[in-house]
Chains A and B, each alone.
Chain A
Amino acid sequence: MQRKIRVLVGKPGLDGHDRGAKVVAAALRDDGMEVIYTGLHQTPEQIVEAATQEDVDVVALSILSGAHMTLFPDVLALMRARGLGDRLLTGGGIIPAEDMESLAHSGVGRLFGPGASTQDIAKYIRKWFAETHGGNGAGAKASRKPARVARAAPRKRPKPAAKSSRKRR
């Protein structure tokens, strides 16, 4: 079984515009990722708890409300407190360039503004995953293949000596 990249796509705060989040969620799904969509009006606590239970690799937030300078740092702090500091926090919305830069300094990943291509977002996530998990992005290619259809097909366990052994725990 190929290692799937799991991504939580959520909308924190008082912001009812979820079109963008849904477009990104669908694009990441089409890129072969498992996307957990958590819906609107989530508190940072709810988002991080969902990220914990779902064991996602990436938390992607859509923020159009202008509250990005509090919401991203809040979510990041909670992720770190919860032991999820090795996961990627990324996202997008209406975010001025200088804010993006300042958030990047605090440890938030790349943020995407209006007009960003969904392919670039998927590529960015795959690149981050390959770099942090020691893989060469093989998962990207493999997961584009049709999923196996047979029920209870043989399980293949990767060799224990694989270089991709993950450093977490």
Chain B
Amino acid sequence: MAEPKPASDLTRRVLAGDRVALARAISLIENETPQAAEVEDVCFRKSGRALRLGITGPPGAGKSTLVMRIAQEYRRRGETVAIVAVDPTSPFTGGALLGDRVRMAELAGDDGVFIRSMATRGSMGGLAVHTAQACDVLDAAGFARVVVETVGVGQSELEVAQTADSTAVVLVPESGDGVQAMKAGLMEIGDLFVINKSDRDGADRAAFSIRSALELRAPGSAWSPPVLQTVATEGRGVAEVVEAFEEHLEHMRVHGGFERRRRRRFEQRLDDLLRAHLWQEFRAQVPAAEWAAALDRLESRRATPNGTAAVLIERFGANRPGAARSSG
């Protein structure tokens, strides 16, 4: 990696808090334009101050409304807030309808808040492909808290846990069924749990069943996730959610989990980048005819996927042009 280059005009404006430049910078990153790397690198170096909060949960749990209330609560406490709201891209048309702002209209007109909608663009983990990079930009621009709202998730879209410093899983009274709560995945990534729409029947029972399920979690973590109840539309219970986030962050700072978590996040990002780049380089080395022949052999059962992969790596892996220069 080269020495830090002087920042471009756009990046300087981002760091100065120019909202037009900030929005443009995120677009450059989303569109993977040539200038994106410079923006990403400069902002990465300037990032690390903002605390990143993840909000995840099934569709219709009230995540957007809760995010709006959380932002309001932070504003009351004098902190600036950036929100990244992710909605799914259609795998069929490539289009997306990003509607989270509808629930956040009350935040309009506040210069201490910045909301950006992102489409997943093919990422399957509940976040957009470049959510982490967008968070770096918002972090570098000086927002004290960056709240990331995932798409409505099922049980396995858990990427937010690798992007946020602290994650809240938002459920509704009806999702508290005991067996559901014991399933792997979503229940394991919550640093706090929120039963939203708690004015409905069954909220207490849902909270109880989640607490019971959490007690079955493997011991070893000093933090036991609180289970909170909210009615986000009315703002009820939201101050307690913000308090719980802050307590968890403080707990991690005291007990050392904070740096560990961020380190794991960087490792994941590095892994993803390397996997993508190495795969792309390798794939470019395999001539189309060889590729087709390999598929033919698989189709006729003359070769196995394991064997074919080994042969391709043997033949083309060492010849990657990147292999020779990668030490530089």
Seen from chain A, the residues whose Cβ lies within 8 Å of a Cβ on chain B are 1-4, 6, 25-26, 28-39, 41-43, 45-46, 49-50, 52-55, 82-84, 143-160, 168-169
Contacts and interface: CB of A to CB of B under 8 A. Distances in A.
A158 B121 contact: no
A26 B9 CA distance: 37
B20 A30 contact: no
Given A31-B95, A32-B95, A157-B34, A55 B27 contact: yes
Contacts of A52: 19-20, 23
A20 to B, nearest CB: 15
A150 B122 contact: yes
B33 interface: yes
Interface of A is mostly: loop
Contacts of B273: 152
Interface string B83-116: 0000001111111111101100100110000111
B36 A35 contact: no
14 contacts: A1-B30, A1-B121, A4-B119, A29-B97, A34-B95, A37-B97, A38-B105, A50-B115, A52-B19, A54-B23, A148-B122, A152-B275, A154-B277, A169-B9
B200 interface: no
Contacts of A4: 30-31, 94, 119, 121
Mostly, the B contact residues are: mixed
B108 A46 contact: yes
Interface in B158-181: none
B95 A146 contact: no
A152 B98 CA distance: 22
A1 B24 contact: no
A159 to B, nearest CB: 8
A169 B129 CA distance: 24
A1 B95 contact: no
Interface of B: 9-10, 19-21, 23-24, 26-27, 30-34, 36-37, 89-99, 101-102, 105, 108-109, 114-117, 119, 121-125, 129, 272-273, 275-277, 279-280
Contacts of A38: 101-102, 105
B93 A29 contact: yes
A142 to B, nearest CB: 8
B231 to A, nearest CB: 21
A54 to B, nearest CB: 6
Given A53-B19, A144-B93, 8 more contacts: A1-B129, A32-B93, A34-B96, A35-B95, A55-B23, A147-B90, A154-B276, A157-B34
Residue from the set A1, A33, A53, A154 with the largest chain B CB neighbour count within 10 Å: A53
B125 A55 contact: no
Contacts of B276: 152-155
Contacts of B20: 52, 82-84
A26 B97 contact: yes
Contacts of B24: 55, 168-169
A30 B276 CA distance: 29
B143 to A, nearest CB: 12
B226 to A, nearest CB: 31
B105 A46 contact: yes
A151 B34 CA distance: 21
Contacts of B129: 1, 152
A93 B217 CA distance: 56
Nearest to A1: B32
A34 B90 CA distance: 10
A126 B38 CA distance: 29
A149 B122 CA distance: 5
A55 to B, nearest CB: 4
Given A55-B24, A149-B124, A154-B279, A143 B94 contact: yes
Contacts of B117: 34, 36, 54
B102 A30 contact: no
Contacts of B96: 29, 34-35
Contact of B93 (A30, A37, A39, A46): A30
B23 A153 contact: no
A34 B119 contact: yes
A2 B129 CA distance: 13
A54 B279 CA distance: 32
Nearest to A2: B94
Contacts of B109: 45-46, 49
